[in-house]
Chain A
């Protein structure tokens, strides 16, 4: 299980990444992930936990990636509970509604917290959703993009309704997470290889028996 070896990107291995999804109630994060996970596959691939927890398998330049997408509750009263959701995350998608200035402020709060908890190891994506409502925009593109840059995050424009920008968002995020993981691996490969130290951070799992490869994902008990 803790089969982290150096040179993990070798054939027969796959990256497993955890991505948390953050955003206020009405920004459309549920639609965003449903779009993403429905597009490639049909309805049946939605897990029985519906939009709360989704998995997706990707192949990026020959590297296999298993994504686990963790939705979080956006309501203010659940904010204190956030940290237990995003510990050990490799990436975070912070969604705001371009027509709602307040939702953008919330994103800023989350960024602060994530950086505080997870440092620079987590790949952040700030996502302005609902670009189909461009006319009602209340968050300026420039402000959002320069903010993202200032905190080391990437900014994306999406429309869950029109299915725009979503595929790119996830693909880009995955590439960045792979890069981070590789840097991490190299650092680990130089140092001592501690078998117990894999609980945190990237896990590279051997998923060669295809029938069982979803083990950690969606098919634990049918």
Chain B
């Protein structure tokens, strides 16, 4: 089927993919404005094409072109990305440096504005503290009951917004009024907080009593031992929190009963876990958020630094080409919403529920700042201390991201000098080595985080403990866990694999128009009259399109499925071409003649990789290899991933070895 679709009506999808890929490139290149335009262009193009398609086939019946669903999916993904880019833009446009009007302020931009002065200018990623807040805000919006402090925080946000609006209306000459406005805002905000804190205190005391009771119950469950590792202690605390949660909520009991009724039902597992993780105040979903934030906090400085290094290193495919222009320290200016940042922080609910020995002491602490972990990431080859294993309170500073940036630069330079190396970051060996060490530790943290989430989930719902349910449960946890982290994680992988990507992209440039036979694809597995096919359509382009969809997914499992589809499409295309040739030459069809083995698959896949034009596949695959389930390792998914990696290496090394040996 894919073979048939392979050559006919492929052009529009291909064009759409090209547009989308261009947009992604711009996006990762920290050019949100252009990226935004390109995303919209892709969507526009897709809807145009589909509209025409529908109109022309109106008389012909209800046939829907096979690519339509793919196109729609692509449009959907472009739209999603456009939304997040728009949010990013909303931030950027606030800066006086960008006087041009935002094309379409998204509905969320007003909201994100709040964090405008925290904009991570250096990299296209949000600084960790904002990432964390966004997550919290996200969960707040879906929550019915707010704690007093959260309520106060929301109130204060509104106050702040009103204040900003009034300030904007005031003439610069009315300085006195401005001051009084500011003072009154601060007073109101403080009052709100004081009241809220008092209410919170009362509530907390009541809860504490109950918590102690439940903690005892949890201890009984774990049949108390004398010596406890920190992990065990945390596990217990979390379990107690779950018990506490279940005192107030009935839904976990209903699910448990259902699990008991039909223990083998995997779809039940899926819906349970996704429900569990969508309830923002359940301890497990809070743990998920907390662990995500910790991973994000660990990755962010590394990626920012990596981007800075790449930007100043010549000849490297930089992650953020604009970084240089944004670094001028003289451009510091007054940020009106700075005060809000201070206002917001005490209200931050934080990664509750905190274990009694949790990292945060008193309630009104500023958010643990992402700043460079002094001794760790910036420190040296020892690698950063794992932020997940009972994160140290972090550097509790209130520097703006801007000062962080200066700090990053200073520490990384100092690091270079300290080791007696030339300060030029272009000596890539200097950069890459610690970077890969940091990648290793981040990967370890991610594995640990997932393990913890899984074991806690299994603890809370014992019915999930059978092997198949456990696997399903893991898959369900991974998707929400990875989705927000993948872009940043990939950025780290990309800076680690910078040189490989550069080599791959050189090959892609050099052999962009090489015919499939040059890569070793036998003619019997090519469509007849290949020369006649015009530009645009090429053999196996259905597979290349499928491969292009991989970069749009953000969950490892989905990406793996995409790779499997690529190989299946190749096999289907090959079979189609082969049968067509047999039919044309009236040869007797042999059993299994059309079934291709690795001897044919690998050259075809290499050709497809070449035509995909996506050098970042190297990094995607490296990340996938790390996070693929053990169970998939020797199965079809593992085979497909291995084949893709082989093809990538082969293409990467093409310029060195002669073609077609």
User: Closest CB of chain B to A221's CB: distance in Å?
Assistant: 6
Q: List A contacts of B466 (CB < 8 A).
A: 206, 208-209
Q: List A contacts of B636 (CB < 8 A).
A: 47, 49, 53, 55, 216-218, 220
Q: List A contacts of B603 (CB < 8 A).
A: 73, 75
Which of A50, A68, A78, A198 sits near B597, CB closer than 8 Å? A50
Say if the beta carbon of A18 comes within 8 Å of chain B: yes
User: Closest CB of chain A to B627's CB: distance in Å?
Assistant: 12
Say if the beta carbon of A76 comes within 8 Å of chain B: yes
Which of B471, B595, B635, B646 sits near A50, CB closer than 8 Å? B595
Which of B266, B471, B571, B594 sits near A1, CB closer than 8 Å? B471
**Nearest chain B residue, comparing its CB with the CB of A216:** B635
B639 lies within 8 A of A78 (CB):
no
B598 lies within 8 A of A198 (CB):
no
Q: Chain B: residues with CB nearer than 8 A to chain A?
A: 264, 266, 466-468, 470-471, 474, 520, 561, 564-565, 567-568, 571-572, 574-575, 592, 594-599, 601-603, 629-640, 642-643, 645-646, 649-650, 653, 657, 661
Say if the beta carbon of A48 comes within 8 Å of chain B: yes
B632 lies within 8 A of A212 (CB):
no
A199 lies within 8 A of B630 (CB):
yes
The 6 closest A-B pairs by CB, nearest first: A216-B635, A30-B597, A71-B598, A50-B595, A206-B467, A18-B634
Which of A16, A206, A221 sits near B561, CB closer than 8 Å? A221
A51-B597, A73-B599 given; A1·B630 CB < 8 A: yes
A25 lies within 8 A of B599 (CB):
yes
Say if the beta carbon of A77 comes within 8 Å of chain B: yes
A84 lies within 8 A of B597 (CB):
no
| Central interface residue in A33, A55, A215, by most chain B CB within 10 Å | A215
Q: List B contacts of A51 (CB < 8 A).
A: 592, 595-597
Q: List B contacts of A208 (CB < 8 A).
A: 466-468
Chain A residues within 8 Å of chain B by Cβ, number: 54
Q: Chain A: residues with CB nearer than 8 A to chain B?
A: 1-3, 16-18, 21, 25, 29-31, 33-34, 38, 46-53, 55, 68, 70-78, 80-81, 84-85, 88, 198-199, 203, 205-209, 211-212, 215-218, 220-221
What are 7 A-B contacts with C-beta separation under 8 Å? A1-B467, A53-B636, A74-B598, A81-B650, A216-B634, A216-B637, A218-B636
What is the bound-complex CA distance between A207 and B650, given in angstroms? 37
B635 lies within 8 A of A68 (CB):
yes
Which of A46, A49, A75, A209 sits near B520, CB closer than 8 Å? A75
A209 lies within 8 A of B661 (CB):
no
What is the bound-complex CA distance between A28 and B283, given in angstroms? 58
**Nearest chain A residue, comparing its CB with the CB of B649:** A81
Q: List A contacts of B646 (CB < 8 A).
A: 73, 78, 81, 84-85
**Nearest chain A residue, comparing its CB with the CB of B557:** A220
A77 lies within 8 A of B596 (CB):
no
A76 lies within 8 A of B640 (CB):
no
